[in-house]
Every structure is written in structure tokens, then in C-alpha cells.
Amino acid sequence: MSSLPETKVEKFTCRTKCRVLLDLNNLQFSRIYPKGQRIDSSNYDPMPVWNCGCHMAAINYQTPDRAMQTNGGRFMLNGGCGYVLQPKCMRHPKYDPYDKTTLTAVQPLTISVAIIGARHLVKSGRGIASPFVEVEVLGCSYDCNNKYKTGTIHDNGLNPVWNETCEFDILNPEMALIRIVVQDEDMFGDPNFLGQATYPVVGLKTGYRSVALKNEYSEPLELASLLVHIEM
């Protein structure tokens, strides 16, 4: 097994050199760890190294950031126990996370998410939340530019209603995650985190779904949830 710092790996996660990492990871295990300059225990984005076949992305569990939530979403496929198998498309000799024409035996997917409403959105401190919802797709480079933001419901964190629909075209659903974040818009128009949920796209089910929201540490928030309708 090769144990590599992110500073060395990030040179090979680009479009022109990713083949080096892919070939390495076809022959042996690799572990990527945060660079020593991260004295604040911040994290790198694990998606690019996963896309290049790296097997273990070591992150700072004490830091409740987007990378940690992405990691939690990836391992929901196995109930948070053990490893997740690489998709078959990644083991194809021509696979390239930057070139959609190299995908083999992968069915593209169109997902429609209707964000209907929410309940019990409590912000830290005093006052009533003014929530809005952001939905984004994480995955290969040709899929990860998809993002949608709802309008803001002012002064209603108890039972806000949006009834807004977003649609995403995902070319490689086997590598993709969907991340839903609920934010509170303060009096200055700045976002403040309320809750999030991150799921593997291949683990989604259609129909009406109650999405249990989690805090920044991916721990369940009591009663807080979103009501959505999913079509694929």
C-alpha cells in the first residue's frame, strides 16, 4: 500500500495526469492523508481522489465540514460498516473521470427532486429561522456542476413550504452523491447552516420521501426533516 499526502496526489488528479493514479490503483492499494499544513484540522475534498481510484481517503473526523459529510454519504451504501466496492466502470482500461465518452456499461440518469417543505428547523441562538434549501450533485467532473437553490421562506422554521422542483442529468450515477443542505438566511443575507443530508445516487428511491436532516457532524437532528418527491 502507498500512503501519500494530498499535496503529492493533487498533482495527479488533474485531467492530464489522472491515468497515473488510475494505473497505480489497479495494481495496489493507496491511502491519501491531509497535508501537514492543515494545522486547523481542515479537510481536502475526497471526491477527486475517489474518482481516480484511490481506496482510502483519510480525513479529520473532528472537523464537521463538507468533506466529512461527503465521506458519510459515500459509506451509507453499506450502512457505515466496512468498505464500498469500486463501480465496474472504474476498472475498465479506458475509464477517465474527466471524459464522459469513456463510460462503459453505465446508464445515465435524470433525477427530478421536488422540494415540498420542511419541519422543525431550529437555528442556533434566539430567533426564528428563514430557511432555504440547496441541492447539489457530487461526482465526476462532468456531473458535479449541478446545483440548485430554492427561495427563502422568511420567519418560518416550523413548517416552511417551497414547492420547487429541480432536475439533474447525471452521466455516471455510480460515482455520484446528492447533497441537500438547509441554510438560514440572516438579516445581512448571509447563509447559516441548519442541517444537511448526503446520499449515494444509486441508493435513492422514487416517490415521496421524508429526508431526516443531520447536523454538521452527520448526527441526526431531532424532528428536523424535509419532505421531497423524487422521480428518476
pLDDT of residue 50: 95
First to last CA, the chain: 39
pLDDT of residue 81: 84
pLDDT of residue 105: 81
pTM (2 decimals)? Answer: 0.91
Residue 143 has pLDDT above 90, yes or no: yes
pLDDT of residue 126: 85
Confidence of residue 30 (pLDDT cuts 50, 70, 90): very high
Region 125-154: mean pLDDT is 93
Which grid coordinates are listed for 55?
481506496
Low-confidence winner among 59-68, 87-96, 223-232 (lowest mean pLDDT):
87-96
Region 24-32: mean pLDDT is 93
pLDDT of residue 19: 92
Asked if 157 contacts 163 with a C-beta cutoff of 8 angstroms, the reply is no
Domains parsed from the chain with CATH numbers: 2-99 (no CATH), 109-231 (2.60.40.150)
CA distances from 31 to 60, 71, 151, 198, 226 (A): 14, 14, 41, 23, 36
Backbone dihedral angles phi then psi of residue 67, each to the nearest 5 degrees:
-65, -40
Residue 144 has pLDDT above 90, yes or no: no
pLDDT of residue 136: 96
| Beta strands 2-5 and 30-33, pairing class | parallel
CA distance 23 to 91: 10
Residue 77 has pLDDT above 90, yes or no: no
Single-letter residue type at 40 = D
pLDDT of residue 111: 96
pLDDT of residue 78: 85
Backbone dihedral angles phi then psi of residue 15, each to the nearest 5 degrees:
-60, -40
- Whose cell is 473526523? That residue is 61
Q: What is the pLDDT of residues 83-112, one digit of tens each?
A: 899 888 888 888 999 999 988 888 999 999
User: Residues with Cβ < 8 Å from 93, sequence gap 6 or more?
Assistant: none
**Adjacency order of strands within the sheet including 56-57:** 2-5, 30-33, 56-57
